[in-house]
Structure 1
C-alpha cells in the first residue's frame, strides 16, 4: 500500500488543482485508497474515486438528451422471471423444457444475460452455434431477444445499454487526470468505453511486485503496474526471501473457535480495533460467526459486504410473517412469530403470555376467518359470565380477560383487512403490499441496523411494485417474495474509525490498516472448488469470444488476489484455518498458501503439511472466552473429565442430573426409575371413592406405568395446538370422533323410524348425515385447502358405505339399543367393579354401542378408525393394553343391573376403508372375566405401591407423548431388566404379572 500511496502523492503534487479521478472497481476500494493517502498526512484537493459505471452515467447526463430509467438488479430479476414464465407457458423452449421456473433460476438467467450483453452480444450478434447444442443456443437467443424487447417496452436501460450509449457519445477531450486501479475488473463493453474516454496519457496505481507465481493474462488497460516489493513478495519464492516477515499461524477445531482465536489475539495484544481488519475466504459461515460474536461482546464492527438481512429484526420479522402466512395464519405459526421477538403488537396489547393463552383457549387452529369467529365466541362467553353473579376478585379477572380478548379481536380485524387469503392463487403485488404494511406498523426496531434494514427493504419493495402483478400459487408466491427480500445484504460499509473491519479478501488489496487477519485458509475454502456454470460453460464462453472470462482460470485469479493482499500488508499478518469438519466428522487440512506462510515464518522452505501440523509455530486456539467454550472444551475432548466440587456447587441442577444418571445405572429400582412414595388413601381408587378410573387410564397404566405416573400423578400434559398441515385436514382423533358422530346419528334416526339398516334404502340417508356433520366440522377445524378437504371427504363417505353394508348383514341377528352409553361422566353415575379381593372401585366411560341379540344377550361394540395392526383374535388382553372390552362388559351389566354373563361378547369394530369392516370379538366367558379381574387388581396394586416402572417393550414408546421426559433409551438393557427384579419392588412384579396375559 505504501507504493500506491507514494505514487498517488506524486500525481497530486504534479497536478495539485486539476480534477483527478481514480477509476476503481468499487466505491469501497476508492475510499481505502484515498484514506490511505490522507492517513499519511497528505493534503488532497480535487481527488475523486469513481467506478466506470459512474463515469458512464455522468457522461450520458452531460452529453445526451435521451431519458431512460436505469434497471435495478431486483427489477431485472423480476422481469426475467416474467419472461421465463411466459416462454414456458407458450411451450417455446426446446432445451430448458423440463426446468422449473423458480426465483433462483430467474436470478441465474438474469446474471447470464447480463454477462452476455456486457460482453457486447445482442440477439442479432450472438452466435447460436457457440453453445453445446443448437437447442440451447436457440433458447438463450429467445430469452435474450425477449429481454431486449422488455427493456424497450418499459423504457429501461441496463448496464449494457448504459455503456453502449455512453460509447456512442464518448470523447476524450476532457482535461481530467485519470488514474487507473491496477487489475481493474472490466467487461468487454466497460473496457471499450474506458478506452474511448481515456486521454493518451493516464496513470495506473502500482501494486507490490510478486515473485514465484504466474501473473494472470490481462489486457493492457486491465494490466498491473508494478511498484516496490515487500518481504511478502517472496512468499512463493522463499529461496530469495531476505527475511521471514511477521506471520502468526492459528488453527481452531471449529470456525467459531478460529474466529474467537483472532478476537482473543486482538484483545490480548491491546490492538486498536480501527487498526485491524479481518478478511474471510468464504462468506458463510464467517460473517454469521463474526456478527454474532461481536454483537455478544459489544464490539463495534463494519462489514464490507454487509450482513444478510435475515440477521436483523426486520429480516426475522418478514421471515416469521411469511411462515405464518404459509401455514394459512395458523396459531402455531403466530406463536412462533410472537416468540421470535420481532413482532411489536402495539399500544395496549396484552402481555405475550396472555396473548398466547387466549389464542390457544380460543381453539382457532388456522384461517383468517376463524380468528374473528372464535374470539367473538370467547367475548360473548366472557360477557355472559360478567353479567352473572360473580365475586369481585373473579370479576376483576374476567374484566381484564374480556378487555384483552376485545383488544385482540380489534387487532386481528385491522390486520386481516391488509393480509391476503393464502389458500389459493395469490397476487404477488397484494402479498408484497401486505408485507410492507406489516413491517411499517408492527416490526420491532431495536437498533440502527434494524432501521437501516427496514429502509433498504422498503426501498426494494417500492422498486419492485410497479413490475409485480403475477397470479401464483401459494408456494410460488412465498418463494418469490422470500427471494426478493430475504436474500439481500444490508449495512455494507467501508472501514470506520473505532470499528473493527470485516470483509472478503478480494476487497483487501488496498487495505491500509496495520494489522491483518485472514480466516478460512483451509483446503476446502481456498481457493475453493472450480465448477462450471451450467448456463454458460467455459467451452461456450471460449466459442463466443470477446475475452469472455473462463471459470477454470478463476482459481489462479483468486490465488493472485490473495497474494497481493498479503504483499501489500502494512504490518503483522495472522492467518488461520479450521482443522475439523463437524458435519462430516473428519479432519481438514490447511490450504497450500497456509503451508507457504509456515515455510516463510520458520525458514523451513521444504516443510510439509505433516511438519506444519506438528509444529509449535502453529497456535491451536482452545482458550475459554465464555461459558459456552467452557463446556465445549469438555464435550470435544476424547478423555473423560471429572468436574470439581466447586463447579458443581454452582450448578445444583447439573449435580442432581448426575446423581440421577448414576442411580439409573445401578441395579436397584429407585426414585429415578419411577419409585415414589404416595398416599394410597388418595391415589388408590379402592380407598378413595371420589376417584374414578377409566378404561383408557388403566390401559395406559398397563402399557407403561411411568407414562401413567407422568400423566395422572404429576398431571403433565403436552401442549395441544391445532397444527396446520398442508396435506391433512383432520387428525386421527378428530376424524374418529366425526365418524362416531355420523354412525350414532344414523342409528338414532333409524331407531325412531323402527327400521334396520339397508344399503338400498339408507345409503342416501347416511351420506346426507355425513355431509351435514362434515360441514359442521369444517366450521370447527378449517381445511388447509380444497384438494385435501375433498380427498378426506371421499374417504369418510366411503367409510360410511362400508359401515352400512356391514351393518345390513350384522343387524339380521342384532338390534342396537344404546348409543354413546355414558357412565361416570356428564352427570351420570359411575359403574362399580368388584375385584377378587372383595374390594371395589369406580369406573367411568362412554360405550359407542350396546346391541342385543335375538336370544336376549348383549354385545358391546367399540368403533375403531385406525389400523388393525395391534389387534389379534388370540390375544384378548395384549399384556393389559386392551382392557376396554372387558371393563365395558362389567360396567354395563352393573349399570343396567343385568345378571352376570348377560354380555356375551365385546368387539373392536373397524368400519373404515383401512379396516375394511374387520371385527375383533372378545368372548366374555369365565376365563376372560377371571383373568381380566386379576389384571385390574394387579394394576391398582401398582398404584398402591407407587412402583411406576417403565414399559419393557420399546414398541410402546413409538408414539408416546413423554419420550423426551423419560429418556428410556439411556438405560442399559441388562441393568433395566435387573431393576425390574428388585426384591422389594412389589408393584413392578405386579406389572410383570399383567404382562403375562395375552
Structure 2
C-alpha cells in the first residue's frame, strides 16, 4: 500500500467501529479511495465519504428550508454575472469594462475571479478598489460583486461559497451528538472556508492523511517497474498503450491511464469506437462528444445558419436522431426526410418552412405529412426575434431542451448521462435567465457550455479501462498505470496570470488567494504525488511530434528527473534520455503488437515485405478495382475507364429522343454527357446560401425567359407591337410579379443583394424592350413546345406533342424535342426563330456557325419551327429564313446573332457524326478542357488527368475510335 492507504488503514484499525467521515473533494473520490482500501485487503466499517459542501448542507439544511433558500448550481453563476454585466452596462455604471462588449467569455472570466474571492470569504464590503492596479477596475469588480450578492439575496439563492460561510457560522451551535472521527487529505488545496468548516466540526478529532512524496520515494531507484516511451503524435501514444496491453494480455480493468489534458479523453473515446472496448473516466467526457451533445450542436448550427436545409439534412443523416411523430409506431428513415426537404426547395429561412407544409399537402403522402409535422413542431419551438434582433435566452434554452429530449437517440451510458445533464442545464438556465441576446450570441454561449460540460463521471469499474486526470490518480490503486501527455508544452503548463485579478492585486486583497505561480507549483506537486503513490508497473510517455502543427515536441523536465533517479545519476541530460528512448511508437506496432489489419499492412510496408500485389488485391477488392483502372489508363486505346463503352451497349442510345441542349452537351464533352444522360449521375439540386448572390445563372435565365414570354403574350393578345414608352410600366409590373414569386421560392441572402440583382433584372428588361421596339419582325408564338406531350401543348396553346424527326439517310434518323422561345414573322410565309440568351455573346461570333457541334440549336429549331408552322397554318408552305440568338442583358449588351438557314446537308452530316459518337460508345472526355471550369463532374473525371489523356488519344490517329470526334471538330 502507498502512504495514503496506509494512513487511512491505520485510522480504521484504531477506530474500528466509530463513525469516520472521510472528507474529500467529491463523493466520487471518497468512494474510489474506500474501494482502493478494500482492494488492498483492509476491511472497514462505518467509514463514510463526505464533502465540505455536503457537511455544510447537513448543518444549514433546516435553516435554508425554513427561509425557502435554494442552492445556485455552479454552471448558472456565469449567466447570473452576464445578466448583471448587461444591466450595469446599460445603466452606464461600469468604468473599466464599459467599452467591452458583454459576452459569455467575459462573464465567465469575471465569474471565475468572483468565485475565488468568495471562497476566501471576501465580500463587496471588504473589497477595496485601492487594492487594484487600476482603481476603475477595482470599482467595477466591487460593484459587480455587490450586485451579485444582491441578486442572490433578492432571488433567495445561495452559492457554494455562501453555503460554506453560513455553515461556518452555524457550526458552533450544531448538535454533534456522537464522537465523530474526521479524516482529511492534507495535500489537497482546500479553500479557507472549507478548512474552517471541517476544523470547526472536527475539533480535536481531525486526522490528516498524508501522501507519498516524490523526493522521499526511493522505490523508483534501480527498479524495472518504471518504463518510458515516446510516440509520433497523441493518437499513436494511446495506441501504444493498447498494443502493450494486448501484447502482455493485461486485462483492461487492471489498468489506469492518467492524462495531462482533456484531448486524450476524446482520443480514447474515438479509439473505443474503433476497437470496441469500454472505459470509464474519473472526470467524465465532454458532452460535446456524445450523441445528445452532437444533436444540440447540430441544432445550434441549424438555427445559426438561418435554418438552412443543408445543415438540417446533415443533422438528420448524422445517426444521432430519432424522427418519430407523436403517436407513431415506427421511426421515419432520415433519408426520406432529407429528400423531402430537398424536393420542397426550402433553402433557408424560418418563414420558408411554410412551403414544406404546402408541398406535403400537394403530395398527399402520409409519411411526408409526418415528416412535416415533426419539422414544423421544431420550427415553432424556436422563439421569434424581437425588433432589436434579440431572443429571450431562457425561452431559447427551454425550446432546445425539449428538442434535444424528443430527438436524441440514446446509444450508450455516456449518451444517457449526457441527455440528462444537457436537458437539466438548459432547463436550469430557462428558469433563471432573463437575458436577451442575438441568436448568434445565444449559440456561442451554449456552445461554450457544451464544451465545458462533463458527463459520465465514474470511478474504476470491472472489465473497463479507467482514465483519470493525473490530479486524481492518487485515489485509485490499479497495478498498471500509464501516464500519457508529458511533453513540455502540456505539462506543467505556462505561468499565466488571471486577466481579471492580477497576482499583485491578489496579494493585497487576501493572502489566501492563489497566485499564478501557486497554480504551477500545484500542478507539479499533484503529478509528483500521483507518481510517488504508484505501486506496480508504471509507464510514462509523451508525444514527441505534433502531427497537426507538424512540429517536434520535447519531454517535460519531470521525465529527465525521473530518469536520473532510476539510473541513480544526476549528471544525465536530455541527450542521454532521448538516446535511451529509441525510436518513437508510430502507426504500426511490432510483429505481435498489431491492433488491426491496417497496422499489420503498414508494418509490412515499412519493413519492405509488401511485394505481392496479388495478395493485396485479393484482400481488398476496392484496391483491386482501383489497380485495374490504373493499369487500364496506361493503355494506348481508350477503355471503359475513359468512357469507351462496348458497341452493343451503346447502339441503342441514338434511338432515344434527345434535346438540343443534350446534343450540344455531347459535343462539348462526351464524358460529361455519358455521366449525366447515360448513367443518370447528377449533383443534388440544392438551394445553397451564397452571401453575395441570390439567383444562379440558370434560375436567372429562367426568370427572364418567363418575364419576356408573359410580356410578349400580353401585348400580342392586344394586337400591339413592343414600344419602349408605351409598355415600360407593363413590363416592370410583370417583372415585379415574377420576382416576388422567385423571392418566395428562393430567399435572398440579404436585402442589399436582392436590390442589386433586381436592379440588374430591370436593366435586362429595359434593354429587351428597347431592342424589341426597333425590331422589324412581328412576334407570333412564344415558348412553343414540341415532343413534350399533349399537356405542354395545352398549356402553351400551340405546339406539337410528338418529337421532330430528321432523316439522316442510311436508315438513320434523329428525334428531338424542346421549347422554342419565339417565332416571328418576317413577311407572309417567311419566318424567323429567336432564342433568348441571358449571358455573354462572346462565344457566338459570326465565324462560329456550329462551333464544333456546340451551337446547333438555331439549325434544329429552324427545322422544328417549319413543322410546327405547317400544323398551325394549314394549306400554306411556311419557310424559316433564319434563326438566331437575342442577348437582352447587360453582359450581352442587347446584341442579336443571326444564323441564316442554308443548305441543310451540312447539318445532317454533323448530326450523323454526333450519333456515330454515341453509337460507337466513344464517351471520352474533350481534349480541349474548355468546359471543365463550369462542369459539375470535375471531381469524377479528375479534370487535368482526363483532358491530358484525351489529348493523347486525339493526336494519335491510330486510335480510330476517335475519328468521329475528330471530324466533329471540323464543323466550325
Q: TM-score normalised to the size of structure 1? A: 0.83
Alpha-carbon distance change, 932 to 86 in structure 1, aligned in 2, over 3 angstroms: farther
Q: Is the 8 A contact 2:225 2:536 kept in 1?
A: yes
Alignment of 1:654 with 2:623, yes or no, is yes
- Measure the CA separation in 2 of the matches of 1:981 and 1:611: 64
- Measure the CA separation in 1 of the matches of 2:79 and 2:468: 29
How many residue pairs were aligned?
A: 937
In the TM superposition, residue 325 of structure 1 has moved relative to its aligned partner by 4.5
In the TM superposition, residue 568 of structure 1 has moved relative to its aligned partner by 1.1
- Measure the CA separation in 1 of the matches of 2:714 and 2:36: 92
In the TM superposition, residue 154 of structure 1 has moved relative to its aligned partner by 1.4
Which residue in 2 is equivalent to 1:53?
53
- Measure the CA separation in 2 of the matches of 1:133 and 1:900: 92
- Measure the CA separation in 2 of the matches of 1:134 and 1:870: 72
Which residue in 2 is equivalent to 1:950?
925
Alignment of 1:629 with 2:592, yes or no, is no
Alignment of 1:377 with 2:362, yes or no, is yes
User: Equivalences for 1:180-195 in 2 at 5 Å?
Assistant: 180-191=184-195
Alignment of 1:163 with 2:164, yes or no, is yes
In the TM superposition, residue 411 of structure 1 has moved relative to its aligned partner by 5.1
Which residue in 2 is equivalent to 1:107?
108
Alignment of 1:966 with 2:971, yes or no, is no
Q: Is the 8 A contact 1:668 1:978 kept in 2?
A: no
Which residue in 2 is equivalent to 1:783?
747
Q: Is the 8 A contact 2:3 2:210 kept in 1?
A: yes
Secondary structure, aligned partner of 1:676: coil
Which residue in 1 is equivalent to 2:782?
819
User: Equivalences for 1:614-763 in 2 at 5 Å?
Assistant: 614-615=579-580, 620=585, 622-623=588-589, 624-630=594-600, 642-679=611-648, 682-683=651-652, 685=654, 688=655, 691-723=656-688, 730-758=695-723, 760-763=725-728
Q: Is the 8 A contact 2:184 2:208 kept in 1?
A: yes
Any unmatched runs of 5+ in structure 2? 791-799, 871-876
In the TM superposition, residue 765 of structure 1 has moved relative to its aligned partner by 2.5
In the TM superposition, residue 968 of structure 1 has moved relative to its aligned partner by 3.3
In the TM superposition, residue 583 of structure 1 has moved relative to its aligned partner by 1.8
Q: Is the 8 A contact 2:834 2:883 kept in 1?
A: no
Any unmatched runs of 5+ in structure 1? 212-227, 233-240, 380-401
In the TM superposition, residue 419 of structure 1 has moved relative to its aligned partner by 5.6
Alpha-carbon distance change, 942 to 274 in structure 1, aligned in 2, over 3 angstroms: same
In the TM superposition, residue 515 of structure 1 has moved relative to its aligned partner by 1.1
Spell out, residue by residue over 1:829-887, the C-alpha distance to the aligned partner (whole angstroms, 9 max, x if none).
Answer: 44456779997533332233345569998665544445778777876766654554555
Q: Is the 8 A contact 1:251 1:577 kept in 2?
A: yes
Q: Is the 8 A contact 2:829 2:878 kept in 1?
A: no
Secondary structure, aligned partner of 2:815: strand
Name whichever of 601-610 and 743-752 sits farther off: 601-610
Secondary structure, aligned partner of 1:847: strand
- Measure the CA separation in 1 of the matches of 2:367 and 2:381: 22
Which residue in 2 is equivalent to 1:582?
547
In the TM superposition, residue 713 of structure 1 has moved relative to its aligned partner by 1.8
Alignment of 1:199 with 2:169, yes or no, is no
Which residue in 2 is equivalent to 1:467?
432
Alpha-carbon distance change, 919 to 137 in structure 1, aligned in 2, over 3 angstroms: farther
Q: Is the 8 A contact 1:858 1:905 kept in 2?
A: no
In the TM superposition, residue 320 of structure 1 has moved relative to its aligned partner by 3.7
Alpha-carbon distance change, 869 to 458 in structure 1, aligned in 2, over 3 angstroms: farther
Q: Is the 8 A contact 2:290 2:414 kept in 1?
A: yes
> Which residue, 760, 769, 772 being the options, matches 1:807?
769
Secondary structure, aligned partner of 1:277: strand
- Measure the CA separation in 1 of the matches of 2:50 and 2:869: 96
In the TM superposition, residue 476 of structure 1 has moved relative to its aligned partner by 3.2
- Measure the CA separation in 2 of the matches of 1:530 and 1:934: 82
Secondary structure, aligned partner of 2:931: helix
Secondary structure, aligned partner of 1:508: helix
Alpha-carbon distance change, 531 to 44 in structure 1, aligned in 2, over 3 angstroms: same
Spell out, residue by residue over 1:677-716, the C-alpha distance to the aligned partner (whole angstroms, 9 max, x if none).
Answer: 234884464xx3xx33333223322332211111122222
In the TM superposition, residue 969 of structure 1 has moved relative to its aligned partner by 4.3
- Measure the CA separation in 2 of the matches of 1:919 and 1:933: 31
In the TM superposition, residue 262 of structure 1 has moved relative to its aligned partner by 1.0
Superposition CA RMSD, Å: 4.0
In the TM superposition, residue 359 of structure 1 has moved relative to its aligned partner by 5.2
Alpha-carbon distance change, 421 to 709 in structure 1, aligned in 2, over 3 angstroms: farther
In the TM superposition, residue 896 of structure 1 has moved relative to its aligned partner by 4.2
Alpha-carbon distance change, 178 to 738 in structure 1, aligned in 2, over 3 angstroms: same
Alpha-carbon distance change, 271 to 136 in structure 1, aligned in 2, over 3 angstroms: same
Which residue in 1 is equivalent to 2:874?
none
Which residue in 1 is equivalent to 2:214?
210
- Measure the CA separation in 2 of the matches of 1:526 and 1:177: 37
- Measure the CA separation in 2 of the matches of 1:612 and 1:962: 54
> Which residue, 289, 314, 317 being the options, matches 1:336?
314
Name whichever of 405-414 and 103-112 sits farther off: 405-414
> Which residue, 846, 856, 859 being the options, matches 2:819?
846
User: Equivalences for 1:559-598 in 2 at 5 Å?
Assistant: 559-598=524-563
- Measure the CA separation in 2 of the matches of 1:872 and 1:987: 31
Spell out, residue by residue over 1:597-635, the C-alpha distance to the aligned partner (whole angstroms, 9 max, x if none).
Answer: 455556676555455445476673623212343466589
Alignment of 1:256 with 2:235, yes or no, is yes
Name whichever of 757-766 and 733-742 sits farther off: 757-766
Q: Is the 8 A contact 2:253 2:461 kept in 1?
A: yes
- Measure the CA separation in 2 of the matches of 1:882 and 1:577: 66
Secondary structure, aligned partner of 1:811: helix
Name whichever of 9-18 and 303-312 sits farther off: 9-18
Q: Is the 8 A contact 1:684 1:943 kept in 2?
A: yes
Which residue in 1 is equivalent to 2:8?
8
In the TM superposition, residue 778 of structure 1 has moved relative to its aligned partner by 4.9
Which residue in 2 is equivalent to 1:150?
151
- Measure the CA separation in 2 of the matches of 1:426 and 1:274: 49
Secondary structure, aligned partner of 1:302: strand
Q: Is the 8 A contact 2:780 2:825 kept in 1?
A: yes
Secondary structure, aligned partner of 1:620: coil
Q: Is the 8 A contact 1:327 1:726 kept in 2?
A: no
- Measure the CA separation in 2 of the matches of 1:627 and 1:517: 25
Spell out, residue by residue over 1:654-688, the C-alpha distance to the aligned partner (whole angstroms, 9 max, x if none).
Answer: 21211111222444433222222234884464xx3
Q: Is the 8 A contact 1:873 1:920 kept in 2?
A: no
In the TM superposition, residue 116 of structure 1 has moved relative to its aligned partner by 3.3
In the TM superposition, residue 955 of structure 1 has moved relative to its aligned partner by 5.6
Alpha-carbon distance change, 975 to 529 in structure 1, aligned in 2, over 3 angstroms: farther
Name whichever of 959-968 and 934-943 sits farther off: 934-943
- Measure the CA separation in 1 of the matches of 2:91 and 2:864: 70
Which residue in 2 is equivalent to 1:287?
265
User: Equivalences for 1:314-325 in 2 at 5 Å?
Assistant: 314-325=292-303
User: Equivalences for 1:444-463 in 2 at 5 Å?
Assistant: 444-463=409-428
Which residue in 2 is equivalent to 1:69?
70
Secondary structure, aligned partner of 1:340: coil
Alpha-carbon distance change, 656 to 893 in structure 1, aligned in 2, over 3 angstroms: same
Secondary structure, aligned partner of 2:213: coil
Alpha-carbon distance change, 538 to 969 in structure 1, aligned in 2, over 3 angstroms: farther
Alignment of 1:345 with 2:308, yes or no, is no
- Measure the CA separation in 2 of the matches of 1:894 and 1:957: 36
- Measure the CA separation in 2 of the matches of 1:287 and 1:448: 16
- Measure the CA separation in 2 of the matches of 1:505 and 1:724: 46
Alignment of 1:922 with 2:922, yes or no, is no
Alpha-carbon distance change, 925 to 752 in structure 1, aligned in 2, over 3 angstroms: closer
Spell out, residue by residue over 1:445-467, the C-alpha distance to the aligned partner (whole angstroms, 9 max, x if none).
Answer: 33333333222233323322212
- Measure the CA separation in 1 of the matches of 2:493 and 2:833: 71
Alpha-carbon distance change, 634 to 754 in structure 1, aligned in 2, over 3 angstroms: farther
Q: Is the 8 A contact 1:885 1:907 kept in 2?
A: no
